Every structure is written in structure tokens, then in C-alpha cells.
Structure 1
Amino acid sequence: MEALDLLPTRRSDLQEIAETVDYMEVVEQPKKDNPHFIEANTKEVDLQHLKTDCIVPVFSKDNELTISHPNFIETVWDAANSFFSGERIDKPDIRISHIVKGRIPEAIHKPVNQLLESDKTQYYERMMFCFEVPTIYETIEGNKLTLSIGGVRAYNHMNLYSKKGIEKFKVFIGFKNQVCCNLCVFTDGLNSCLEVSNTNELYRIVLEMFNNYNPAKHIHLMQTLTDSYLTEHQFCQLLGRMRLYQSLPQGYQKEIPRMLLTDTQINSVSKAYIQDENFGSLGSDINMWKFYNLLTGANKSSYIDSFLDRSLNATEMAVGINSALHGDEKYKWFLD
């Protein structure tokens, strides 16, 4: 993995950069024929569609604009270009869901079958984007991992019926497995409750997150997963415990480390163990790197607003089970 030229680490320096930066336009580049980093009920769109075909929601009590999806994407993309100066930054892949449809005031009384396209309005309640820094990469067990950055915006986590206030975002920096586009998110590469009121604050906090993230530590953590194995019996025991977890009494569940995957996603893990050509291991031991990718692969069916939390939890689960194999007690319940 190539060395990074880091920006100054003092908070005052980051604040000054955020206040003086000239924002750059995201340049569209050819699409790649890769699997999507998230699936579920999402749809792929481009930045121009969000800019020209969608309205921007407002806070209803004072009619103040929210930070738009395009502004969010461009602010993070621009921060990445500044922080990783000299590296190549790909265009964002954008996925949306939960469309909110409306009409312009002049078309309020028109029957549906008489509506013109110019009468309609729309925006998306949930949006996730991801872009790669392909010049920064590492290889684990033949899988090329490239540095990846992205974020989530979910209006359902905000109160748009109030006056303008703090707006909530989620931003991450981690690695994407090029074999399957699974995203690998680690604790210091995720801000799951980023609260700001303008794009300057957003830019500064994103820069701080980039500065605090240690890609070498993240890579080392994932490499350690290649040295431990689950027997087929242990794997089946683990799946059974994961299924059981969701039905445990609340008090009992609190005594166990959290597990956020759904029953449907656990079923996907078991199916992939048998059928996945890259990470399946039917009839043999499975190393923890492959198990981790079964978890992150199953997570691709999550909705946008829960994706990053479950992505981090997949890392916690894989690392915790790996530690349990070496005698740690915290995740031992999943293997008993």
C-alpha cells in the first residue's frame, strides 16, 4: 500500500482549510461493470440526475433548505481530493431509494392522467454513495482491496417539520473488495452520527475523520483474519447461535455482543458458504477472512439507512469470533 501525504493534523488548520476551500465539480467518468456495493431496493443514479431532476427538501417551519444530496456528495469528494492530493479519485457510485413524489403548485388540482412531466416533483429519502481511490490498495488472499470513501443521507432520521437545525449524515472511509464489491468498514473509519448545519462544518469533520483513520492498521486487522479457521461444525454452530440471538429475551441479549444481521441475511451467509465461488467452503474449514466476506456480502441486502451500522457490525463480529477462537471470552457465546 502506498504511503499517504497527510494534511496538517491541528484542528485549527483543518478549520482554515474548510473555510477557504474552492469546491470542485465532480467529473463524470466511464462506469465500471462491477457488482454494486449495496443492493436491497436501491436504484443507481448519477449526480446530474440529483442536480437537475430532483428538488431539495426544506425545513417546513422556516422554509430553509437542507443540505442537498449533491452538495453532500461533492463536499466529501472534494475533501478526499484535498486530503489525498496526487492520488486518483474515481467518480461516485450513487444509489437511492424511497422516492418522494409531489407536484408543483400549478398542478395541484390536475387529475393524475393529465399530469405533465413538468408538473411533477421528486426527491429521494435515502441516498448512499461510494467512490474509490484506486491508487491506494492492498491484496489479501488474492483479493485486491482499494481505499474507498462514501456516505449515507437518510431524511427519515431528521425532523423536516421543524425549523432548520442540525442535519445528520454518515460518512466512512475503508476498503472495497474488488472481487465482490463488499465494503470493509472499521471503527475509526466511520462517523455514523455526523451532525452539522452547513457544508463547511461537514468538510472540516470529514477531513478530521480522514486524518484519524489508519489504513495500515485496518489492513493488518483484516490480514489477521486469514490465519484462523472455523471447522464446518463450528461454522454451523455459529450460524445457529446467530439465528438464536434475535429471539433471545432482551435482558439476556444485552449480556452478549450485538449482532445486527437479520435472519434473511444469516440465511444468505449459509447459502453463500455452499455456493459462493470466492468465499464458499462447503466440506472444509473456512478461514475468518472468507467468513468476514460472507457477512459483508449478506449485508449488501440492507436498506441504505442501516447499511453502514451493519457493515461495522460485520467487522466487529468477524474480529470478535476470531478472538474467541484464540481464547477470548467476549464472543465465546456464539461458538458454545
Structure 2
Amino acid sequence: GRTPEAIHKNVKELLDEDKTIYYERMMFCFEIPSICEDIRGNRLNLTIGGVRAYNHENLYSKKGMEKFKIFIGFKNMVCCNLCVSTDGYQSELKCMDVRGLFNSAVALFQDYNMAKHLYEMGGLQESYMTEHQFAQFLGKSRLYGFLPKAEQKKLPQMLMTDTQIGMIARAYYNDESFSVPQGSKEINMWNVYNLLTGANKSSYIDNFLDRSLNATQLAEGLNKALYGDCEYSWFIK
């Protein structure tokens, strides 16, 4: 990096005092353990935080709106997986000063329906996916990225990478907390959700929150597909 005064200098002209060090991506995250819930023996603590990623900015242009990602959701204390819902996440918060950032964050926190989020996550523990359906989901997820664009646009978004899909497959048998029970041909949808959020921990910081939300959408969509809903049915048929 470089100081503002040196922004127009050529690299070879930079003096030591012109040079700076900056972190391209940073995430802040802290818990409010006094607000918690238990789902299937997993303690969930209310958590808030956000991301600042300079790779989304043009650092050489005139200063404009600053961009942040902020969220409010729950952290599963069994595995530190992050659970983010649609109304608890703002993917691009634009502001010019700290006051604007504060006001936008407070507005997000006020709009977040914590009870609804917990209810939807709790509902996942009542559903089960067969081994065949889970295998279909993994296979279709690998095919998703290679579909013709016109076909892909007809389907719900799936942001997991091939590497992460492989991690989910491995965790299906080997995860200490959320693997399929030995000898069983079914896996609980709460466990499936945590396999998704667990694989997401390999994401870069600037993609982490988007994929956290997508993991929630996938789990909820697949759960509805088990009961006949069509939106996510492609993934398990």
C-alpha cells in the first residue's frame, strides 16, 4: 500500500515513508452468550459481526461510499459453525462515516427476527434425508457449476465449491458431531445443515458470509423438497 500523498507516484519513486501495510480482508465477530438457544443438544450463542474487504474497492479512484458486510445470527458452540438468515445479513452496506455505519447496523439488528430464525433451524431436526437423496444432492451440486447458464438460472443459487462438496461428503461419514449414525441410511437435516456450514469455514473471508447464508437457504430448501416443494427438488431427484 501507499499513503494518500503518494497515490500518484510510480512504484520506483516510492520512498519508505510513502509505503504502508494494509490487510486486504478482515472479519470481526463477537458473541452475546447471554442470548442463547439449544437445538439437538447444540448450544447456539447470538453473534454479530461483519467483513471489510478491500479487494471489493478501487483504491486508486476518488474516495466514495465505503462498503461493508454485516450480520447478526447464531454460532453453534459445538463446532463454531455460523448460522446466518436472510433478514440477519446485509451483503453490501454503503456508508460515508461511522455514524452511517452505526445507524445501518442498528437497523439490521432491529429487523432481524430471531424467533423465526430459531424456529426454522429447530424445524430441521424433525426431518431426515436418505443416503440416496444425500448422494443425489452431492452429485447434482457438482454438476451445478457446469450446467448451461440458461439452465442454471432456473435453479436456486448454490455457492459451494467442488472442494467444499468433497469436504461435505467426507464429513458425512467422519464428522465427530454431525456424521450419519453408524449403520443408518438416514441423516438428520440439522446435521446436513451443519455439514454445509462446516465446509464453509474453508472460504475466504470476503465470500464467507454469502456462503453462510447460502448454506441456510440450501438446508431450508432441501428440507422443503423432502415434503414435495419443487424449488429445490432438482438437487435430490
Band the TM-score falls in, shorter-chain normalisation: over 0.9
Count of residue pairs brought into register by the alignment: 231
Name which of 211, 231, 234 aligns with 1:330. 231
Distance in 2, Cα, partners of 1:275 & 1:197: 47
The answer for the alignment partner of 1:311 in structure 2 is: 212
* Aligned: 1:253 with 2:152: yes
* Aligned: 1:148 with 2:47: yes
* Aligned: 1:262 with 2:161: yes
Pairwise CA distance, 1:56: 9.0
CA RMSD of aligned residues (A): 2.1
Q: Deviations over 1:91-144 (max 9, x none)?
A: xxxxxxxxxxxxx83478xxxxxxxxxxx7411000011100010000000000
The answer for the alignment partner of 2:93 in structure 1 is: 194
1:128-207 alignment runs, 5 A limit: 128-207=27-106
Alignment gaps of 5+ in structure 2 = 9-13
Computing the radius of gyration over CA atoms, which structure comes out larger, 1 or 2? 1
1:21-170 alignment runs, 5 A limit: 58=4, 105-106=15-16, 121-170=20-69
Q: Is the 8 A contact 2:2 2:20 kept in 1?
A: no
Q: Aligned letter for 1:316?
A: Q
| CA pair 260-106 structure 1, distance change in 2 beyond 3 A | closer
Distance in 2, Cα, partners of 1:56 & 1:223: 49
Alignment gaps of 5+ in structure 1 = 1-54, 63-103, 109-119
Q: Is the 8 A contact 2:222 2:233 kept in 1?
A: yes
Distance in 2, Cα, partners of 1:177 & 1:223: 13
Name which of 184, 194, 197 aligns with 1:293. 194
Question: 4+ residue stretches of structure 1 with deviation over 4 A?
Answer: 55-62
Q: Aligned letter for 2:15?
A: P
The answer for the alignment partner of 1:274 in structure 2 is: 173
Distance in 1, Cα, partners of 2:17 & 2:217: 51
Pairwise CA distance, 1:277: 1.2
Tell me the secondary structure at the aligned position of residue 122 of structure 1: coil
**Share of identical aligned residues, percent?**
59
Pairwise CA distance, 1:283: 3.8
Q: Is the 8 A contact 1:58 1:160 kept in 2?
A: no
| CA pair 312-59 structure 1, distance change in 2 beyond 3 A | farther
* Aligned: 1:234 with 2:144: no
| CA pair 59-274 structure 1, distance change in 2 beyond 3 A | farther
Q: Deviations over 1:178-213 (max 9, x none)?
A: 000000000000010100011000000000001001
Q: Is the 8 A contact 2:3 2:20 kept in 1?
A: no
| CA pair 173-334 structure 1, distance change in 2 beyond 3 A | same
